Chain A
Amino acid sequence: MKGFSHLANVATLALDREACSGCGACVEVCPHQVFALRDDKARIVDRDRCMECGACRTNCPAEAITVDSGVGCAGGMINEWLDGILPGRRRGGGCC
């Protein structure tokens, strides 16, 4: 994404090039252009741009992609953490 980048070297994205069939679905669904097709197979060209949305993994027919996906949202994580230590906590409306 032009003009924006979050912390480097954190994304959990991994591609098994042996398993890749070169269909290019990951290239098509990634909104941050993390993948490119090289020599008839996908390649991660910039892992630091990955926001771990999981679109590539969900759409990889060869199951060649792994990523610990989720929503990158501090509020949601604090909520999850509070749910863990305070069982039965009532939550207000919110997207995460």
Chain B
Amino acid sequence: MPVISPALELSDRVGAWKARWGIGRMSYLVPAGVYALGSPTPDDPVLVTANYKMCYDLVRRELAGRNVWLLILETHGINVWCAAGMGTFGTEELATRLEITRLATVVRHRTLILPLLGAPGVSAHEVLARTGFSVAFAAIEARDIPRYLDGGMRTTAAMRELTFTFRERLVLVPVELVTALKGSVWIAPPLALAASWREGHFSPAAALPALLAYTGAIAAGTIAAPLALPWLPTRSFAVKGAVAGVLWSLLFLAATGWRGLPAAATVLLVTAFTSFLTLNFTGSTPYTSPSGVKREMRLSLPLMTGGLAAGIGCWIAAALR
């Protein structure tokens, strides 16, 4: 059985940083199985988490100075929350992993401590019926584990309440940004080409303002809107994003002095794009429901498409004049 340390090395920190920036994020994992942290006895607690390395690192770091068993489930490198939603951090995998690792022969007690956000996938009563182990959903955040263990394994109200603080939103920004920039491979070149076409010939310098407007729209949708989320108006992500887009386009117009059709094209295109990017951020928030996102998409995607078409129309009209 592997014996592990709670200390995070430089390579662990670099690995977490790379995952946050979307570098090798889908293959950042540790092998599933039972690990010994410190020198646990058969009476020491068992904590269960996913095999996304960031989950494993967060949990073991919080367990410094303790003797515990870690049971790592095979979620194919996906975090607890997403894996529970997909069912891979689930009853079936937990029961199978208990069998493979023969955990019942390793520990004398029959209690498993799970992250609360694993509950969508793990049915505590089914696990008990199938394996004889009772499941305790301890807390949402790994940082609450020490208090949970020291407080007689009791979950306080605060430990089971989700938060979405500025800092928690900030760590999500890099992946949003990188994903949008990857998509730009398909959008930016034709945009630059179209923008540089002036009076029958190409003048590359003319592409710069268009690329600036575009880059700003990406920043508004993937950095500004997520960070300013609670302060942007309405509950709708599409509207929040549209507001961020309008603000950025007004700033851009003030700087460039564009008027008339080019200005209208900028506002329409930037707003539609920023609104879409912000709607996409629903996937990273811990409070939007599929029904809510579906309704938002039904209402806003036609408007975004309309805005896009109208923006292109204004642009063509301006070019033809």
Establish whether residues A12 and B124, one from each chain, have CB atoms under 8 Å apart when the complex forms: no
Judge whether B82 and A71 touch: CB under 8 Å: yes
Tell me whether B236 is interfacial, beta carbon within 8 Å: yes
Of A23-31, A38-46, A82-90, the stretch lying at the interface with chain B is: A23-31
* A3 pairs with B125, CB closer than 8 A: no
Chain B 282-302 per-residue mask, 1 if CB under 8 angstroms from chain A, else 0: 110111111111111100000
Q: Is the CB of B290 within 8 A of A59?
A: no
Chain B 61-97 residues near chain A, CB threshold 8 A: 78-79, 82, 84-86, 91
Instruction: Give 1 or 0 for each of B100-141: 1 = CB within 8 Å of chain A CB.
Output: 000000000000000011011111110000000000010010
Measured CA separation A28–B26 after assembly (Å): 31
Contact status of A1 and B162, CB under 8 A, knowing A32-B287, A77-B297: yes
The answer to whether B116 touches A73, judged by C-beta atoms less than 8 angstroms apart, is: no
A52/B289 contact (C-beta < 8 A), A10-B295, A28-B160 known? yes
Contacts known (A29-B116, A58-B121, A59-B123); A73 close to B291, Cβ less than 8 A = no
Do A4 and B291 have beta carbons less than 8 Å apart? no
Q: Are A72 and B292 in contact (CB under 8 A)?
A: yes
Is the contact region of chain B dominated by helix, strand, or loop, or is it mixed? helix
131-168 of chain B: CB within 8 A of chain A: 137, 140, 155, 160-164
* Interface size in chain B (residues, C-beta < 8 A): 48
Shortest CB distance A91–B (Å): 11
Taken together as a complex, chains A and B put the C-alpha atoms of A86 and B131 apart, in Å, by 42
User: Assuming the A-B contacts A72-B282, A72-B283, are A1 and B164 also in contact, with contact meaning beta carbons closer than 8 angstroms in the complex?
Assistant: yes
Residues A59 and B125 in contact, CB atoms below 8 Å apart: yes
A5→B287 contact, CB < 8 A: yes
Q: Is the CB of A72 within 8 A of B137?
A: no
Take A31-B117, A51-B286, A53-B120 as given contacts and tell me if A10 and B160 are in contact as well, using a CB distance cutoff of 8 Å.
no
Chain B residues lying within 8 Å of A1, measured Cβ to Cβ, are 161-164, 286-287
With A51-B289, A58-B122, A73-B283 given, is the CB distance from A7 to B295 under 8 Å? yes
Whether A29 lies near B291 (C-beta < 8 A) is: no
- Contact at B286–A3, with CB atoms within 8 Å? no
Quote the shortest CB–CB distance from B223 to chain A (angstroms).
Answer: 17
Q: Which of B85, B162, B236 contacts A7 (CB 8 A)?
A: B236
Contacts of A59 in B (CB 8 A): 119, 122-125
How many Å from the CB of B218 to the closest CB on chain A? 15
**B279 to chain A: which residues have CB within 8 Å?**
74
Chain A, Cβ-Cβ closest to B276? A74
Asked if A33 lies at the interface with its beta carbon under 8 angstroms from chain B, I say: yes
A18 to B26, alpha carbons, bound, how many Å? 44
Q: Is B230 an interface residue (CB 8 A)?
A: yes
Proximity string of chain B (5-37) to chain A, C-beta cutoff 8 Å, 1 when within and 0 when not: 000000000000000000001100000000000
Identify 11 residue pairs between A and B in the complex whose beta-carbon atoms are under 8 Å apart, listed by A's number. A4-B164, A4-B229, A6-B237, A10-B289, A11-B292, A29-B137, A32-B287, A51-B286, A51-B289, A78-B297, A95-B82
Interface of A with B (CB < 8 Å)? 1-8, 10-12, 25, 28-33, 49-55, 58-59, 61, 68-78, 93-96
Interface residues of B (CB under 8 A from A): 25-26, 78-79, 82, 84-86, 91, 116-117, 119-125, 137, 140, 155, 160-164, 229-230, 235-237, 279-280, 282-283, 285-297
